[in-house]
Amino acid sequence: MSVRRSWAWPLVPLYAAGLAVKNALRAAGVLKTRRLQWPVVSVGSLSAGGAGKTPVVIALAELLHGRGWNVDVLSRGYGRTSSQVERVQPDAELAADGYGDEPVLIAERTGVPVWVGAQRFEAGVLAEAAGAKGGVHLLDDGFQHRQLARRVDVVLVTEADLDDVLLPAGNLREPLRALRRANAVVVREEERERVLPRLKEFLPASVAVWTVRRRLGFGGNENLLSEAGIENHLAFCAIARPEGFLRDLKESSVSVIDAVTFADHHRYTMEDMNQLIAACDRAGASGFVTTEKDAVKLSPAMRERLESRGPLVIVRLDVRLIDEDGVMRELEARIR
């Protein structure tokens, strides 16, 4: 059992009671669900962060687009400074501040329209008005956003989730039994044999199990990893599970001499860049390595400041669904 914040353990029953009340109100029809014209495919998780939802949204968007679907993404845009419902313009100045880091990353990687707003229904209405006739919405981080009806619920489950506890002591937004609402569960290839036996009691036979293969990519910066003089990197990130990033770097033989971590969705400042350079000097590192999600929050001036000290390597997490054809057959059968 993973208790991240032991001081909050007495609050867990209150959180659980709140979930029960909300579920009862939804079952009684007090909490309403609204439905868009296009089918909605929700991609979510039980945990508050770090399950790898964004790379799976990217993978599904690319697959659907490649099969001719008019696809867009609806996202909350966590941590954004604007409250408007709007389409992400990834090339805008300070785009991550205005739209959120993950929506900007999705827009950059996929090229499909990404719409952000606290009310995803309103974002979907705008997307349908602006898009071609007929399409499909991908609802980013949508498992708990039940105000919006969905045709398919895709839920990521990691091995860490199995031993976690509810918020606020742990990182779970819902208990494992909530997986009974899912249509498909996504597990990591390297965890599959350990995870699936423990999920049996929570998964009806109708729930599909999809497996993803994850690997790090370096966006053309591979040469920076092998050039003499920059074998030792200072890693930095502001993600929910930094230990996973550091583990992936190690497994990819990227030499990291030290690491600096910030809170998830942290908004970087120039002072942060100065602190990173100071940490780089203390550790004797020759350059920096960070995630693609972090990189979208770095202004040109911030990048220039870091690169005055040493090369900046940006790592991307590439995810591929094993048996893509089988996954698409199942998904398209539900959304047609």
Q: DSSP string of 226-240?
A: HSTT--SEEEEE-SS
**Quick one: pLDDT band at residue 228, thresholds 50, 70, 90?**
very low
Q: Taking 60 as the threshold, does the pLDDT of residue 224 lie above it?
A: no
Q: Give me the amino acid identity at 59.
A: A
Q: Taking 50 as the threshold, does the pLDDT of residue 121 lie above it?
A: yes
Find the Cα–Cα–Cα–Cα dihedral 51, 54, 60, 62, rounded to 10°: -150
Determine contact, residues 212/206, Cβ cutoff 8 Å: no
Find the Cα–Cα–Cα–Cα dihedral 99, 102, 108, 114, rounded to 10°: -60
250-269 pLDDT per residue, tens: 988 888 999 999 999 999 99
The number of beta carbons lying within 10 Å of the beta carbon of residue 198 is 14
What is the pLDDT at residue 220? 54
What is the pLDDT at residue 229? 41
Determine contact, residues 25/147, Cβ cutoff 8 Å: no
Neighbour-count burial for 294-310, b at 16+ CB within 10 Å, e otherwise: bbbbbbeebeebbeebb
**Quick one: pLDDT band at residue 3, thresholds 50, 70, 90?**
low
More confident residue, 220 or 282: 282
The domain segmentation of the chain, as residue ranges, is: 6-214+320-335, 216-318
**pLDDT over 70, % of the chain:** 95
Q: Taking 60 as the threshold, does the pLDDT of residue 221 lie above it?
A: no
Q: Taking 90 as the threshold, does the pLDDT of residue 18 lie above it?
A: yes
Find the Cα–Cα–Cα–Cα dihedral 245, 251, 53, 168, rounded to 10°: -50
**Quick one: pLDDT band at residue 133, thresholds 50, 70, 90?**
confident
Q: What is the DSSP letter of 183?
A: S
150-194 pLDDT per residue, tens: 999 999 999 999 999 999 999 999 999 999 999 999 999 999 999
266-319 pLDDT per residue, tens: 999 999 999 999 999 999 999 999 999 999 999 999 999 999 999 999 999 999
Domains 6-214+320-335 and 216-318 in one fold:
yes
Task: Please give the class, per CATH, of domain 216-318.
Answer: alpha beta
What is the pLDDT at residue 87? 97
Query: Which stretches does DSSP call E strand in 157-311?
Result: 184-188, 208-217, 233-237, 256-261, 287-291
Q: Give me the amino acid identity at 102.
A: E
More confident residue, 2 or 177: 177
Q: What is the mean pLDDT of residues 117-127?
A: 95
What is the pLDDT at residue 15? 96
32-73 pLDDT per residue, tens: 999 999 999 999 999 998 899 999 999 999 999 999 999 999
**Phi, psi dihedrals of residue 265, rounded to the nearest 5°:** 70, 15
What is the pLDDT at residue 225? 53
What is the pLDDT at residue 252? 86
Q: What is the mean pLDDT of residues 100-122?
A: 96
Q: How many CA atoms lie within 13 A of 95 on its CB side?
A: 22
The architecture CATH gives domain 6-214+320-335: 3-Layer(aba) Sandwich (3.40)
